[in-house]
Structure formats: structure tokens, C-alpha cells
Amino acid sequence: MTSKTSSSEFGKLTMHRFRQLTWLITLWSAALFFILPVLQSMQLGLLMPNKSSHLSKDGVNLLLADENYLVLAGALVTGIIAACVVQAFMNSKNQNDLWLSLPVRREKLFAVNLTAGAMAVLIPLTAAYILASVMTVLTPDAAALFDFSAVLMGYLRAVGLFAVAYAITTLWCVLSGRTIIAVLCTLFTPAIGSATAGLAVLLVLMQFKTFYYTQQTMKILIELCPFAPFFATSIADKLITTMEIVWAAVAVILLLLSVRLFQKRSPEKAGDALVYSKALPIVKYPLVFLSTALGWVFFKLITSETGWAIFGAIAIGLCVFCLVNVLEKFDFRNILHHWWKFIATAAVFGLCIGILILDPLSYDTRLPAREKITEAKVYQLTINGIDLNPSSNFQQTIKDPEIIDSLYNLSQFVVGREEYLSYNTSFGYRNDPSDIPFSDISNAYGSKHLLYTVDYNGFIRQYSAFISDDQEKLLVAIFSNPKVIMKTNGAYTYTADEIELMTIEFSNISMSYTVKDTVATGPENNGAVGDVIYALRSGALTTTAEKLENAHLLCVLHIKGEDGKTVRVPVYDFYEKTRNIWLWPVIENHMLKTDPALIESIRVERLYDNFSQTVTDSTQIAELAPALITYMDTDYNPLISTENDYTVTVTYKDDSVSYPRLCDQQLPDWLKN
Amino acid sequence: MIAIDFSDKRPINEQIIAKVIDLAAKGFLPPGSPLPSVRSLATELSINPNTVQKAYAELERLGVIVSVRGRGSIIAENNEPLRNIQVEKLHAGLREAVEAARHLGMSCDEVCGEIRDIFDGGGDRK
Amino acid sequence: MIKTEKLTKRFGDCTAVNAVSTEMHEGAVFGLIGSNGAGKSTFLRMLAGVLKPDSGTLSIDGEDVWENPTVKSRCFFIPDEPYFFKNATPETVKDFYAIFYPKFDRAQFDKIISVFELPPKKRLSEFSKGMRKQIMIIAAVASNCDYLFCDETFDGLDPVARQAVKGIFAAGMVDRKLTPVIASHNLRELEDICDRIGLLHKGGILFEQELDAMKLGIHKVQCAFSSPKTKADFSDAAGFEVIKFTARGVVVTMTVKGTRESVLERVNGLAPLFAELLPLSLEEIFISETEVCGYDIKDILF
């Protein structure tokens, strides 16, 4: 055969197969026609015009570009269907008789089918996109807003998703002798990619309180799912775009692999569940394993009880095991024949879970001995979003033994037995705190949140969990070394003569100390406030009948109020105020520069009476500067508040701008009306 | 003209040979007349051309037909082989008839008498 | 010429074709007889390049068949249940096969279609099973291939169609040395058309021979003697093998292997009262042959 003949043979055969797909092309084109041109014309106001609306860039482009979810879903579904339809011939003995007796090489046959299927999906897709784009460009108001590159990206994304779905389904069609199994495997493939790893991580997380884990990990796991990156596009993320390209490249590789495998495939295997039966155990048992793990997680999540989790694991594992065997042989009667295999699989899985629970290496509760710890680094330590990190930055190495003691106590608390801490869910809510404001979490769960990552000479522990109020007090008390105290920017000040009384409360008794000039006098260990607290915590009390070894400590200040009244303010009771605060703006604003020398001007506005004044005079700036605070400062210092209605704009000499609040207690006279 | 009886258990090529000889002997195929080509006979009778080929080869071997370049097979001009075959057949037939007569207990003269009658055109005995 | 040597194909535990060695010469019809499951279809599928042999060699005119489009373009496979793509009509079937077979003759296809009175533009799904088979056969013939592999092709055709197809095959054999290989479990069909027949049983060829030789080498003798005879009276001559022997009184009916002359000579040597040689049908030959091997033909063929 001359090459001319063989290429025209390819062309003719492709056209022949293409014509066989008319029904698919028609359905897909009809669906696309509705999804793109019609909906787009509604977006543009051509259909169902709304006279009062005007077109926005988003409105014009999103349907075709970043939010073309319908198109993506359609591309995914037609990709799977098209692959099944064109490759179905391999699984029918009758069709094999026809196709394989023809004088055509198998690769050619395969390539023809692939091409025809791809044409059937891509030609209508391209046409619909062109039609919608042309329509947009021809609409007078929309033409200027049309973002060609975004729309092109949207189109390429749909093509990429189609390619991935098509390639995966094709590969499964080659690997399996039954179309239904190929489809099931394709739908399960995304799960295979990410769920396996995700499930393993989840299982370990559930078990180990101190397992290190971040949001980034979850993101990567999701990106391992072949279809996910394409749908996640409205979040502009370099990782997502990279994963899309990666998956498209994988699709090409899978197609080439499919060709190779098809060449090796024995035609008589049509009808068998898996054509390469040696691979069967590799697929079967991990599948059962996975579903058993899923069963465990699912029931544990719902009921928080291990007993139910075991039941769930066995029940779901058994069901999937039977299902897999039935699909393989399509013979219901043989289910019981495989009982020994199932027992073996269950035993293996049970062993793994047992090891996880028993924690034979004490991974969860292991801490280095206190004597061996000479230094520590605290990467993060927050309670309810408030930073309690004793170091000014996480690179700093702490060598102070007192602080290390406190840290160690906290660590022991954390790795201790579960009844010390209760969970709102059966495992802690793990999130990278840099991603999500804690106000969200605390609003959702109505409770407090502890997050810490501590490094003892290279031994790192990260921990994050929700804690109840009592537990929070307990933790704070354990950790309340005076030296380990919250940061402020200076607006937080109190003088000794403002403190009338310092009461050190324990969970079972209360002891009162008088504080004067930072010296505390009371029933035990008189001395500097910090020292007294420290001494009391260390259990050096002798006057009380009860031992205070495990006493919970809370320090309460009685402050002399302005009007002479006494205000009882627990020093650590600032959490109440932080519930509705956004963390990021707070942290940003906390970097407030209040040095008058840096300030160019301060503008103060009051909305309700349109009062406004700009202060540029350095004296006035120096007067006003101390009153500049942030919300966070009011959290740290219960003595101050910012209830006034002023809006403040501070312009610095380096042209930067910030928007602090004004402290009620520090308002200069000329502002007080 | 040449027909096959498929229910006859004799091999087809034997039937063809017999039929050709029969037709030639009876004068339906006079010497020099062409036989249908292998192709046309095979397609007409829907039989294997090799069978026809074998039959024709045997007929040629017997001398009943000859193959002529450009004309295919024709009945041989020399009808002596044909005649010999027919005579042979006659002999066999006669032998059988004589044996049968012998079994019936007929004498040679009675048999000859029968033969004479048939020749004279009588045919059936009363 | 098709040549196979120890051709074997296994499906899991079952050996469908077991070390079959045979030859099929061009211009001759080869018949493959066997019951369902004997391995005929598997064997044909290997010849057609649909299945790959597990071991042994298979060559058509010296070349391997598997994945060899050049050789396959000279072969056409007619399966017992032909598959046609959706919405196929005789017209589209013609166009389809014309893509692959370089010598496909469209005019011939049209002519035979009209001879068979098949509507060229009607959907094949509306045809009867027999008519669909006819279409396949016509496509095979029109493709002008040198080798036709027919799997129970004649079964299911009405007698008229059967004769017509045989005639078409005959023309092909003369015109271009068409070599049909026909598998069937119907001896009657093959009897008239085959040059050479092989009996396939449980994957192996039990025996295989030229049909003529078969028929010339075995005869049924009916003879009567003055005194009863037994088998022993006949068994001691060379070139004379008694396969089956029944005696009822003085009448002996026996199936004998040997040439016509030697059989007659032997029988006549015993001075029979009369002796007659009857031709055997293929079925009877088969029964005799396989009974010798110890098989009950009914197990094999029915």
C-alpha cells in the first residue's frame, strides 16, 4: 500500500466512525448551543433584555472564561461517553470479528477511533465558543469588554478537561473488558488519585493529636485529583494552573500507553472485567482497603465512637468486596467463595488500624525529657487567634528555663490523655492559620482554639484543637508565666497605683493579694507580682489545707475605676472581646507606628456631625499620638476602650497611610466635645 | 443438459462422467460438439470446479473427449473409446442379466429367445 | 497456500485448538467439520488474524497473518453472526469495505445484490438474518480476495441462495483461484463443495483427507452367499479392511476400506450369489472412520 492510500484509508475510516457518532454530536451540540450562545446572549442582554442593567467585564466574560462550569461539566461527561462509545468495539466479540479481520493495523484502528471521538466533542465545542464569542463581539456594548485571552483560557481549559477525561476513560476501556467497569473506574479515578493519600492522612490525623499537617497538604492532595484543577479556576492560583498543564500532559501519556496496551490486548478477553488479569489483585485489594478506611472515617465522624467505626469499616469493606467480585465475574453465587481473601484483607487492615490506635512507638505522647531540653523555638502559639508566642519571631531560640518550663507544661497537657481536652469534632480542626481567620472558626464552633508549634532541639510538635472555656482557663493558667505574656504596642499600660487588688484565684479556692508598687502582699510568698504568681504556680503554697499541685490559676486585677468604682477585670479574660474580630486587619494594624516623629499629619473625622480636623502641627501630633490604638490593643488591655465615633487617617512622612482608632481614655481635650 | 442428482450417493464427478458418456452415446452430444466450460458447468450446477475439472480429466483419459486449444473440450471425433465403454457396459449388463436368468433357472436358449424378441421390437412378454 | 504447523490456542484452562497442522492449497475448497465447541471458529479466527495463536506457526503464502495488513487484504472473514455497524445499508456496507480492500469491485457488488433481489438502501436491521448473511457473502465475493474464511456460512441460507452462492464461489475459483475455507457442522453441505475435509474434535484434527480419496477408498458392500459368512472370512487380505460388518442369514452388509477393484476382487473371490458396491455418503464415511477411533459420531457432530 502506498502511503497515499493508507492516509486516505485513515481519513475515510475516521469519517466513517465520525458519522457513526451523529447522535452524540447532535446531543452535545444541542446542549452546547443552550449552554453557550443562548446563555451568553442572556448575559449580554440580547435575550430577555433588562433595560436598567449595564454590562460589566465579569458579566460579559465569565460564562466563557473563568466560570464556564457548565461547559466544563459537559466536556467531562462527553469525554467519558465519547471514549466509551468509540472503544466499545473492543469489548464485543462480534465487533472484534469485524474490525480485527480487516486489513488494518491495530494502532491505526485505535487512532481512528480516538480521532473520531475527539472530533465529535471538540468540533461542536469550538463552534459554540466561536459563535458565542462572535456574538459578544458584535454586541455594541460588549465588544470593548470582551477579554479574548480569558475566553481563550476558558476554551483551553474545557479542551484540557475533555482530554483528561477522554484519556482516562480510554485507558480503562483498554484495561477492562466490560464497558460498565471502565466507566466506574473512570469515575473512581479522581478518588484514587487524591482519596488514597487523603484518607491515609485523615486516618493518622484522627488518631494522632499532634500530627503535623497544613492546608497546603490538603491542597496538593486535591490537585492530585485529575478533574479538580479544571473546576477550581476562579481561584487564580499558580498551583492550579500548573496542575492543569500537568494533567493535560498526563492525558497524552495515558493515550500513548493505551495504544501500546491495546496492541498487546488479546481479543478473546472481551467481556472479562480486567483484561490484564495479573493486575487484578493490585486493583481489587487496595479498593477494598480504601473503602474499609472510608467506612471507618465516615462512622467515626458521625458517631465519634470507635465501636461504630469498626462496624462501619467491616460493613462497607464487605459490601465493596462483594461488589468488586460480582463485577469481576458477574456471578453472584460465588461471593462466598472468596471469604478467605476477604478475611485476609480485613486482617491486614485491622492490623494497620490496630498499630495506629495502640501507637506502639508512642508517637502521639512522646516528649523529650525535660532535663534534656536546653532550648526551644516557638513557631506559633495562639489561643483564639491571639498570639502568645514568647519569642518575638519564630527564629528566636528560647533559652530561659522558666519559659521552657511553661512550654513544657503546655506540651505535656497537650499530649496527655484525651479527657483533658474535649473536641467539638472527633478530631481537631486542622487549618493553616495563615489561611483562615479564626473569627470564622470561633463563630462556627462558638469556642476557643489553641494552636501551637514548638520545636524542642529539633523535636517538633504541632497541635491544634478547639477547647472549652474551662480548658482554656486551664491552659492559660498552666502557661501563665509572667514572662510569657502578650505583646502590646505600649498603649497597654497600667500603673501599680491603679491596681487596687490582685486576686489570685484557683479553681477550688481563692486567695487575695494586695498589690502596691508591683509588690504583692498576701497569704503566701509575698513579693513581686510575677514572682508571687510563679511561686504559687510551682506549688510552693503551704498555708492552705489543700495541696495545689494541680491547681488552676487565674489572676484577677481589681482596678480602681475613674469614678472611684472598682472594676473587676480578669487579666486573661480578654477572649470575650475577640470573638468578632478579623485577624489579618488586626495584625496589620497592630504594626501601628505611633512615633510622632514619623507622622506627617493626622486627620480626624466624625461622621455624625461632619466634624473633621487635620492636625499637622508637631505639638498637636505629639498630643494625639498616644491615643492611636488598634482594636487588638483594647483586647490586650481591658482598661482601654475605643467606643468613640472618630475615623482617623494617619499619613506618615514616607507617604504611607494607616487607619487606626482613637483611645477613649487618651483623647486630647480639644477633641472632647 | 448435464444435470446432477444430489440425492444420488455417487460422487459428483462420476455422475458427470456418466452423464456425458450417456449424452454422447445417445447422440445428444455428437462428435466435435463442445462441452460446457469448467467455469460455466460449475457455476450452473453450483458445484466445485475442481470436481468438473476432474471429471473432464477422466473423460479425456478415457478418450471420450479431447481438449482443443482455444475451444475447450469437445467430444472426440474418434468415437471408438466411447463405443468401447458402451460395449463394456453392455457386457456388464448382459452378464448381470444372464446371472439373473440362471438364478431363475432359465436356459441359454430361453434367454436368447428373449433377446431375439426384444430386437425384433416386441418388447414385453405377455 | 495456507499452512499451519502445530497451531495452538488456549483460553484459560481450555485448549480450543490443539497443535493443528494442516495445509490448504489455493483454488481448492477446504472443509472444516466439527461440532460446536470443537474449535472451528477459533481456528478460522486465527486464520483471519482476529486471534493471536499461542504457539505454532501459521502462514499464508509464506507470510505471517497476525497484524499483517498486506496479507489480510487478501483475506475476508465471514463470521457466523456478522456484525454490521449501526444504520448500515447494503450501500454503506459496500462503501465501507471498499475502503479496505483494494480490489473491491463495486459494480460486481451491485450486480449480485440485484440478482439476490436485496434492496440496496434498506437498513440491515430490517433484514432477516439470512439476508444479512447474504450481504456479508456478497461483500466477501466482491472484495476479490484470494482467501475466504467462512464460519457456518451456508447454514442459515435458504436452498436457492445456497446454490447461488456456491455458483459464485465456483466462478471465483476458476477466475482467480479463490480459496474458500468453510467451517460447518453440516456434512451434507460440505459434501458437494469441498475438495478436502478435516474433522476437528476437541481442538485436534482427527483426520483429514481429499474427499475423492475418501470416497474412493471406502465402500459399502452388499452381498449374499450360499452359506453364512463371518467377518473372519473377509479380514485376511491386504488392501481390504473391514470396518463394519453385519450379517443377516446369508446376506452380508459391510463397510470396507480399499479401492473398488480390490474390494470387488476379494468379495468375488468368495463366490457370492450377488455382490453390489454402494457408494457411501460423507456422513456414513465419517461415522465409520470415527467409530474406528473409538468416538461415537453422535458425540462429535450432534
Give the three-state DSSP class for A204: helix
A220 and A267 inside one domain: yes
CA dist., res. A641 & res. A630, Å (int): 10
Mean pLDDT of B56-64: 90
- Per residue in C236-246, pLDDT (tens digit) is 666 677 878 88
Q: Which residues pair with A599 in a beta bridge?
A: A652
A150 closest CA partner among A242, A266, A22, A64? A64
A318 within domain boundaries: no
Sign of the four-CA dihedral C205, C211, C212, C215: positive
**Interface contact C13, partner A, CB < 8 A:** no
Helices (H), A424-579: 438-445, 469-479, 529-537
Q: Report strand pairing: C179-184 vs C147-151.
A: parallel
Which residue is closest to B53 within chain C, CA to CA?
Answer: C174
Boundary (domain end) residue, out of A546, A571, A596: A571
Q: pLDDT band for position C109 (50/70/90)?
A: very high
- Asked if residue A656 and residue A526 are part of one domain, the reply reads no
Do A110 and A235 lie in one domain? The reply is yes
Torsion angle defined by CA atoms of residues A634, A439, A199 and A214, in that order, rounded to the nearest 10 degrees: -40
Kindly indicate the confidence band of residue C29, based on its pLDDT and cuts at 50, 70 and 90: very high
Test mutation, C15, C68, C99, chain A, max A CBs within 10 A:
C99
Q: What is the pLDDT of residue A285?
A: 73
Q: Do C82 and A98 touch (CB under 8 A)?
A: yes
Q: What are the tens digits of pLDDT across the range A195-237?
A: 666 666 666 666 665 555 555 666 666 666 777 777 775 555 6
Cα distance between residue A88 and residue A598, in whole Å? 75
Q: Interface of chain A against chain C, CB under 8 Å?
A: 1, 5, 9, 12-13, 16, 20, 92, 94-98, 100-106, 266-268
Per-residue confidence (pLDDT) for residue A301, from 0 to 100: 66
Helix, strand, or coil (residue A569): strand
Which of chain C's residues have a Cβ under 8 Å away from the Cβ of B50? 27-29, 173, 195
Tell me the β-bridge partners of A555: A504
For the residues C79-89, what does the mean pLDDT come to?
Answer: 88
The pLDDT of residue A522: 78
B to A contact (≥3 Cβ pairs closer than 8 Å): no
Can you give C171-217 as a three-state secondary structure string? HHHHHHCCEEEEEECCHHHHHHHCCEEEEEECCEEEEEEEHHHHHHC
B44 touches chain C (CB under 8 A): yes
Residues A45 and A175 in one domain: yes
Mutate to test the interface with A, among C100, C143, C150 (most CBs of A within 10 A): C100
- Which carries the bigger pLDDT value, residue A420 or residue C22? C22
Are residues A501 and A468 located together in one domain of the fold?
no
A527 and A606 part of one domain: no
Q: Which parts of chain A have pLDDT scores under 50? A: 1-4, 52, 417-446, 480-494, 496, 506-507, 545-555, 568-590, 636, 638
Q: Does B58 touch chain C (CB under 8 A)?
A: no
pLDDT at A68: 79
Distance CA C205, CA C17 (A): 9
Cell triple for residue A614?
Answer: 487635620
Residue C48 has a pLDDT of: 93
* CA B23 to each of CA B16, B18, B31, B55, B60: distance values in angstroms, whole numbers, following the listed order: 10, 9, 11, 15, 15
What DSSP designation does A194 have? I
- Average pLDDT of chain C is 85
- What does the block give as the cell for B36? 460446457
Which pLDDT does position A194 carry in this prediction? 59
Q: Does some domain include residue A53?
A: yes
If you measure CA to CA, which chain C residue comes closest to B5? Answer: C192
A110: chain C residues, CB-CB within 8 Å:
none
Which of these three, A537, A571, A605, is where a domain ends? Answer: A571
Phi-psi region of C233 (alpha: psi -120 to 50; beta: other; left: phi over 0): alpha
Is there a contact between C211 and C283 (Cβ–Cβ < 8 Å)? no
Residue to mutate among C112, C148, C191, C192, with most B CBs inside 10 A, is: C192
> Is C51 in contact with A9 (Cβ distance < 8 A)?
no
Task: Determine contact: C88 vs chain A, CB below 8 A.
Answer: no
- How does residue C113 score in pLDDT terms, banded at 50, 70 and 90? very high
Supply the Cα-derived Rg of chain A in whole angstroms: 34
Domain boundaries, chain C: 2-211, 217-301
Looking at the structure, tell me whether residues A258 and A174 fall in a common domain: yes
Calculate the CA A154 to chain-centre distance.
Answer: 25
Q: Are residues A610 and A509 in the same domain?
A: no
Assess C129–A contact: CB distance below 8 Å, yes or no: no
Cβ pair C100:A9 closer than 8 A: yes
Structural domain count, chain A: 4
Q: How far apart are CA C245 and CA A271, in angstroms?
A: 50
In a domain, A342, yes or no: no
Rounded Cα distance between A433 and A213, Å, is 11
Same domain, A566 and A585: no
Residue of A nearest to C47 (CA): A101
DSSP H helices in chain B: 12-26, 38-45, 49-62, 80-104, 108-120
Q: Does B78 touch chain C (CB under 8 A)?
A: no
CB burial of A153-163 (b: ≥16 within 10 Å; e: otherwise) equals: bbbebbbbbbb
**A435 and A507 together in one domain:** no
**What is the least distance, in Å, from the CA of A321 to any CA of chain C?**
24
Read off the pLDDT of residues C170-206 as tens digits, 9 standing for 90 and up: 888 988 889 999 998 777 777 778 889 888 877 888 7
Q: Give pLDDT, residue C182.
A: 92
- Are C91 and A305 a contacting pair, CB within 8 Å? no
C55-60 and C63-64 as β-strands: parallel, antiparallel, unpaired? antiparallel
How many angstroms separate the CA atoms of A437 and A459, rounded? 28
Residues of C in contact with B104 (CB under 8 A): none
Measure CB to CB from residue B38 to each of C162, C174, C216 and give the nearest one: C174
Q: Look up the domain containing A401 and give its range.
A: 370-479
Model pLDDT, residue C141? 92
Enclosing H/E stretch for A42: helix A39-44
Q: Which amino acid is at A210?
A: T
Whether A67 and A110 share a structural domain: yes
Sign of dihedral through CA atoms A417, A422, A426, A428?
negative
CB count within 10 Å of CB A340 equals 8
| Interface residue of A24, A86, A100, A113 to substitute, partner C, most C CBs within 10 Å | A100
Tell me the per-residue pLDDT of A9-53, one tens digit each, with 9 for 90 and over.
888 888 888 888 888 899 999 888 888 877 777 777 766 555 545
Q: What are the percentages of helix, strand and coil residues in chain C, rounded to 5?
A: 35, 30, 35
Backbone phi, psi, residue A559, to 5°: -105, 140
pLDDT tens track for C130-162: 899 999 999 999 999 999 999 988 887 888 888
Nearest to A105 among C67, C77, C99 (CB): C67
A540: in domain = yes
- pLDDT given for residue A55 in this prediction: 66
Q: Does B7 touch chain C (CB under 8 A)?
A: no
Our CA-based measurement puts residue C152 at a distance from the nearest CA of chain B, in whole angstroms, of 18
Highest mean pLDDT (candidates A413-422, A641-650, C3-12, C258-267): C3-12
Average pLDDT over residues B44-73: 88
Contact at CB, B39 and C171, closer than 8 angstroms? yes
Contacts of C11 in chain A (CB under 8 A): 268
Tell me the CATH architecture of domain B12-77. Orthogonal Bundle (1.10)
Question: ipTM of this predicted complex?
Answer: 0.84
Topology of domain C2-211 in CATH is Rossmann fold (3.40.50)
Please indicate, yes or no, whether residues A586 and A566 belong to a single structural domain of this protein.
no
pLDDT of residue C215: 77
Q: Is B48 on the interface with C (CB under 8 A)?
A: yes
Q: Give the predicted TM-score (pTM) of the model.
A: 0.65
Contact between residue B85 and residue B44 where contact means Cβ atoms under 8 Å apart:
no
Q: Which residues of C touch A20 (CB under 8 A)?
A: 85-86
In sequence order, which residues have a C-beta less than 8 Å from that of residue A130 and are 6 or more positions away? none
C156, C129 contact by CB (below 8 A): yes
> What residues in C contact B42, CB-CB < 8 Å?
167, 170-171, 173-174
Query: In which residue are the cell numbers 456422513 written?
Result: C283
Partner residue opposite B42 with nearest CB, options C170, C195, C212: C170
Q: Shortest CB distance from C192 goes to which of B12, B43, B99?
A: B12
Residues facing C181 on adjacent strands: C30, C149
Strand-pairing partners, residue C14, are C11
Q: Cβ–Cβ of C102/A20 closer than 8 Å? A: no
Instruction: For cell 530561659, name the residue.
Output: A400
Q: Would an 8 Å CB–CB cutoff place C77 in contact with chain A?
A: yes
Residues near A365 by beta carbon (within 8 Å), at least 6 away in sequence? A359, A415, A416
CATH 3.30.70 at C217-301, yes or no: yes
Give CA–CA dist C180/C185, Å, rounded.
16
Residue C301 has pLDDT above 60, yes or no: no
Contact B43 C280 (CB under 8 A): no
